[in-house]
């Protein structure tokens, strides 16, 4: 894998940890949608006010999530320590699972192929509520 691609992926991981603008999340999710080997991954997206975060999501729990994150970052899964929590049926990356900051809304998007930022915008428009919190 090229250093440029690795740099893009590593930069996109920042928006897993911290809240970012809609423009940043669209770019990061586009990079993420192109970054998974299987080309079919689930992405968790949450919104608080006008700020966003994302995470890979997996129904199999923490270990498959760890393996997905390691492949995405092009490192051994033995090199990662990963906090996680569950949302619905999905495990997602969470830096501080004991200090969860509740989002205003969240959704899971299914990325079967790499998506452009415009395609991500369309997915979020149709799947992420603008006003009311989502109920589990």
Indicate whether 21 pLDDT > 90: yes
pLDDT tens digit sequence for 68-114 = 988 888 889 999 899 999 999 999 999 888 888 899 999 999 887 88
Residue 45: inside a domain: yes
Looking at residue 80, what DSSP letter applies? -
| Strand ranges across the sheet with 84-87 | 84-87, 90-93, 51-58, 41-48, 105-111
pLDDT tens digit sequence for 41-52 = 899 999 999 999
Alpha carbons 134 and 85: distance in angstroms, whole number: 17
Residue 27: inside a domain: yes
Confirm if 43 and 57 have CB atoms less than 8 A apart: yes
Residue 136: inside a domain: no
Residue 55: inside a domain: yes
**In the chain, helix, strand, coil percent, each to 5?**
40, 25, 35
Residue 132: inside a domain: no
Residue 76: inside a domain: yes
Give the pLDDT score at 136: 45
Confirm if 35 and 115 have CB atoms less than 8 A apart: no
Structurally, the chain folds into a number of domains equal to 1
- pLDDT averaged over every residue in the chain: 86
Please name the residues in contact with 111: beta carbons below 8 A apart, sequence gap of 6 or more.
Answer: 32, 33, 36, 39, 40, 41, 42, 43
Residue 35: inside a domain: yes
Looking at residue 90, what DSSP letter applies? E
Can you give the residue range of the structural domain that contains 32?
3-127
Indicate whether 36 pLDDT > 80: no
Residue 134: inside a domain: no
């Amino acid at each position: 894998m090229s250093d440029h691609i690795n740099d893009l992926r590593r930069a996109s991981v920042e928006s897993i940890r911290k809240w970012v603008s809609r423009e940043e999340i669209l770019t990061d999710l586009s990079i993420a949608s192109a970054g998974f080997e299987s080309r079919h991954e689930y992405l968790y997206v949450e919104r608080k006010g006008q700020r966003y975060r994302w995470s890979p999501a997996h129904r199999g729990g923490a270990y498959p999530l760890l393996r997905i994150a390691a492949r995405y970052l092009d490192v051994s899964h033995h090199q990662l320590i990963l906090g996680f929590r569950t949302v619905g049926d999905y495990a997602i990356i969470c830096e501080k699972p004991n200090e969860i900051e509740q989002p205003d809304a969240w959704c899971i998007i299914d990325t079967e192929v790499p998506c452009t930022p415009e395609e991500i915008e369309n997915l979020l428009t149709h799947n992420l509520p603008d006003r009311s919190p989502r109920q589990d």
